[in-house]
Chain A
Amino acid sequence: MDSHHADISENQGALASPDVAVDVKSEQLSLQDPRAVLSLLEADQVVAAKRRTHFGRKNLSSGTKALLWGLRFYVVAMLVIVLISVYQAVHAAH
């Protein structure tokens, strides 16, 4: 691969083939060829690829679930306290 071609990917084995590589020395860019577009993006940056692939569900330990529920109750309790605080502030002002 000539040095003036974009080293697009971290993975040296996955460089774009020369006939679709985009030339960073050139001032002009033509993206009419979809392979040129794909050579500039990582596999999971393409919109179609992202729509069809998803990270699977994580198995949460009981400790993690307890933590998430605890934080959820914390937020609800704090919101109630905020409402009390605002009521007291408005009540005191009047």
Chain B
Amino acid sequence: MDAPEKNPSQLAGQTAHPTTESAVASAAAPELIGLVTHEDVDRARDRWEVARARWKGRTKTFGGIRLLWLLVGPGVLVFLGENDAPSMLSYSADGSRYGVGFFIPFVVLTFIMGFIVQEMTVRLGAVTHRGHAELIFDRFGKFWGFFSMGDLIFGNFLTLVTEFIGVRAGLGFFGVRPVIAVGGALVIVMAAITTGRYWTWERITLSLAIFNGLFIPAAILARPDWHAVGHAMLTWMPFPGGSRYEILLLILATTGATVTPWMLFFQQSAVVDKGMQPRDINAGRFDTLLGALLASVFAIAAILATVPLFHHGINAADFQAAQFAEALEPLIGHTGAALFALGIFEAGIVAAIAISTSSAYAFGEVMQIGHSLNRPLREAWPFYLTLFGSACAAAALVLMPRFPLEFVVLTVNVIAVLAMPPALAFLLLLVNDPEVMGEHVNGFWANVAGVTVTVLLIIAGLGFGLATVFPKWLGG
């Protein structure tokens, strides 16, 4: 099926534009017939399943459920992937230091912000069939493209390091040696990515991601005061006391636990690799909403699971993952602590897969090489080398003695939220571009929401900056 490429007579130099025209009905069809690749065949097979489910959904009561099952994926993965090790630790820090209160509804707010942003990437991917990095390079040129890529690669690498820290710490609770924990995680990452089919990779990663829900039984075992939880959701009270500088830092870290640049690149590329089309946008919105909902519930569970530390006056300010589990054990039992530790391990694994995939997608798009999980290893080895190589490099740093892991964990979520405004600026420019989006360009309220999120993130960042440079202003 992979025919040698012919001289590009019809296609060369053409400007892309949003289209829903079937490839077989297009003017370039005679040329494309000889250029169909393995990747096209796999994607067409996935599209056939969707078309079949869409046809069946017309005649059966629950037919639409299969269609949703087929189209759910990128949105759930991006949000559950963002509930990664440093994020779950941020939520745990919220619960252990401030108990039930402000941070519970605040987490819900951050996921609403995340949904607003991620929904735009669904539309961009489904309409343009191009990844985020590729679109930035196309529309804004190499200069801005490399700046965006630089932010992404730098942030992704730091985050990957923290994922393996989480893996190491999570399994460390069970006495697993670091080299075995980290090596085992790399084997899982390798197994997930070398399936040669996007669909298979997606289902494997989703199966792992759903274990983010382990924080729910851990939270139940912590026996939270549900009346206080309901009160906090409605009133945002009590507001945390103590150092305002530390509160601001935690607000920033909690925001960075939900809204980060890699999510934009990952979800858009995953939507493209999945083969989604404009008619799938509503399903993509549902997928994104489902992901945000699940992730916010699991995040709140992580907060509630560590509230007993707050009630017992245990100072968890400098706790890492294993220390949280060890401190929780006498309070919520060995089972609860074990579930917490396993949840941190899961958070690290799934995020390691998703984040290294987002780096590989962006690299492939920019370098114009094959960048699809539908391609076998031998065809797209640079893509897979980037994906697995970044994971290996991060894992190696975690195993190095005397590497300043604490430095990385302290900064990664804060750096993520600080790097968001430029990423959001490019996203808003693209999604408001009629040459790119056609009829799916942003509406007024979508722009209001998107600009509001961007402004809030800039204000949060500036507040952090002022608090750092002039700590006495906030009693730091």
Contact-residue size bin, chain B (C-beta under 8 Å from the other chain): 35 or more
Q: Does the CB pair B37–A44 fall under 8 Å?
A: no
Contact partner of B40 (CB less than 8 A), chosen from A6, A25, A46, is A46
Beta-carbon contacts under 8 Å, B417-433 to A: 418-419, 421-422, 425, 429, 433
Q: Which of B26-34, B76-84, B172-180, B188-196 contacts A (4 or more CB under 8 A)?
A: B26-34
* Contacts known (A86-B411, A89-B410); A42 close to B23, Cβ less than 8 A: yes
Q: Does the CB pair B25–A9 fall under 8 Å?
A: yes
The prevalent SS among residues of A at the interface is helix
Q: Is B242 an interface residue (CB 8 A)?
A: no
Beta-carbon contacts under 8 Å, B122-176 to A: 128-130, 135, 138-141, 144, 147, 151
- Report the minimal beta-carbon distance from B128 to chain A, rounded to whole angstroms: 7
Q: Is B94 an interface residue (CB 8 A)?
A: no
Closest chain B residue, CB of each to CB of A14: B25
| Best-surrounded residue of A9, A31, A43, A45 (most CB of chain B within 10 A) | A43
Q: Is B47 an interface residue (CB 8 A)?
A: yes
Beta-carbon contacts under 8 Å, A35-61 to B: 35-58, 60
Q: Is B61 an interface residue (CB 8 A)?
A: no
Contact partner of B415 (CB less than 8 A), chosen from A22, A35, A50, A82, is A82
Bound together, the chains give a CA A44 to CA B410 distance in angstroms of: 43
Q: Which residues of B contact A82 (CB under 8 A)?
A: 411, 414-415, 418, 468
The prevalent SS among residues of B at the interface is helix
Q: Does the CB pair A58–B139 fall under 8 Å?
A: yes
Contact with B along A5-22 (1 / 0, CB 8 A): 011111101111100101
Q: Does the CB pair A55–B16 fall under 8 Å?
A: yes
Bound together, the chains give a CA A43 to CA B256 distance in angstroms of: 38
Bound together, the chains give a CA A77 to CA B372 distance in angstroms of: 36
Closest chain B residue, CB of each to CB of A37: B44
Q: Does the CB pair A71–B45 fall under 8 Å?
A: no
* Contacts known (A35-B33, A72-B147, A75-B422); A15 close to B12, Cβ less than 8 A: no
Bound together, the chains give a CA A40 to CA B468 distance in angstroms of: 55
Beta-carbon contacts under 8 Å, B380-437 to A: 406-407, 410-411, 414-415, 418-419, 421-422, 425, 429, 433, 435-436
* Contacts known (A37-B44, A52-B8, A77-B465); A11 close to B36, Cβ less than 8 A: no
Q: Could you tell me which B residues sit within 8 Å of A by CB distance?
A: 1, 5, 8, 11-17, 19-26, 28-29, 31-37, 39-41, 43-45, 47-48, 51-52, 55-56, 128-130, 135, 138-141, 144, 147, 151, 275, 277-279, 368, 370, 372, 406-407, 410-411, 414-415, 418-419, 421-422, 425, 429, 433, 435-436, 458, 461, 464-465, 468-469
